[in-house]
C-alpha cells in the first residue's frame, strides 16, 4: 500500500506536530508489518504445506465417494438385470451382481489407497519444506527430478489434475479388464 507524504512547511503548533509524529509512526509501523510478512518464508511455507495436506485430504474423500458411487451404480444395474432374467439366466445375473460388487469394492479400495498415498506424499513434502526453510529438500531428491519438483511446487494444480486423471485411468482399466476377462 502506498502512502503519500505531504510536504508541509512545518507544524503550526505543538499539537499539530504531535499529530504529524503520530501519523508518521503509524505509517512506519504498517510498513514494517508488511516487510515482516514478506520476509517470513518459513511461515508461508507452512501455510502452503497445510494447504497441500488439506487438498490431498479432500481428494481422498472425493475419490472414495466417487468409487463408492460407481460401485453402487454397477451393483444396482446388475441387480435389475438379475430380476428381469428367469431360470438359468437368473443365476448368471446374480453372478454378475456379485462380480460388480467385488469390482466396486476393489475400485473403492484402490481409490482410498491412492488418496492416502497422495495425502502422505503431500504431508512429507510439507515436512521437507518446513524443515528446510523453503528449500524443497534438494539433498533428498535425485538430481534428474529436481527440475520437475520445482515445477510441481510452483504449479501444483496441473500436478494434482494429472494425478487424479492417472488414478481414473487406472481404475477404468481395472474395471474394463475384470469385465472382459
- pLDDT tens digits, residue range 120-143? 777 777 676 665 544 545 566 677
Give me the percent of the chain exceeding a pLDDT of 90. 6
N- to C-terminal Cα separation, the chain: 65
Asked if residue 126 lies in contact with residue 53, where contact means CB atoms within 8 angstroms, the answer is: yes
User: Which residues lie below 8 Å from residue 147, measured CB to CB, with a gap of 6+?
Assistant: none
| pTM, 2 dp | 0.28
Residue range 2-13: average pLDDT? 63
Rounded Cα–Cα distance for residues 130 and 92 (Å) = 56
pLDDT tens-digit series, residues 44-102: 788 888 888 888 888 888 888 887 887 777 777 767 765 665 666 657 767 778 887 78
Per-residue pLDDT at 113 = 80
Distance, in Å, from the CA atom of 135 to the CA atom of 45, rounded to the nearest integer, reads 9
Q: What is the pLDDT at residue 89?
A: 65
pLDDT reported for residue 133: 47
Q: What integer best gives the mean pLDDT of the chain? A: 76
Question: At residue 27, does pLDDT exceed 90?
Answer: yes
- Cβ-based neighbour number of residue 55 at 10 Å: 16
Whether the CB-CB separation of 101 and 75 falls below 8 Å is answered with: yes
Mean pLDDT over 170-181 rounds to 86
Amino acid at each position: 500500500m502506498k502512502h503519500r507524504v505531504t510536504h508541509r512547511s512545518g507544524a503550526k503548533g505543538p499539537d499539530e506536530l504531535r499529530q504529524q509524529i503520530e501519523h508518521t509512526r503509524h505509517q512506519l509501523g504498517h510498513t514494517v508489518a508488511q516487510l515482516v510478512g514478506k520476509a517470513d518464508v518459513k511461515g508461508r511455507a507452512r501455510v502452503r504445506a497445510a494447504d497441500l495436506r488439506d487438498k490431498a485430504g479432500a481428494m481422498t474423500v472425493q475419490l472414495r465417494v466417487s468409487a463408492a458411487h460407481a460401485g453402487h451404480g454397477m451393483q444396482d444395474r446388475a441387480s435389475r438385470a438379475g430380476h428381469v432374467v428367469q431360470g438359468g439366466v437368473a443365476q448368471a445375473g446374480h453372478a454378475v451382481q456379485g462380480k460388480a460388487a467385488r469390482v466396486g469394492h476393489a475400485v473403492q479400495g484402490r481409490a482410498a489407497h491412492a488418496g492416502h498415498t497422495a495425502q502422505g506424499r503431500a504431508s512429507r513434502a510439507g515436512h521437507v519444506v518446513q524443515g528446510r526453510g523453503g528449500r524443497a529438500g534438494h539433498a533428498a531428491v535425485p538430481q534428474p527430478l529436481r527440475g520437475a519438483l520445482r515445477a510441481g511446487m510452483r504449479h501444483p494444480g496441473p500436478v494434482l489434475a494429472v494425478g487424479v486423471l492417472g488414478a481414473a485411468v487406472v481404475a477404468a482399466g481395472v474395471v474394463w479388464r475384470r469385465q472382459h476377462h
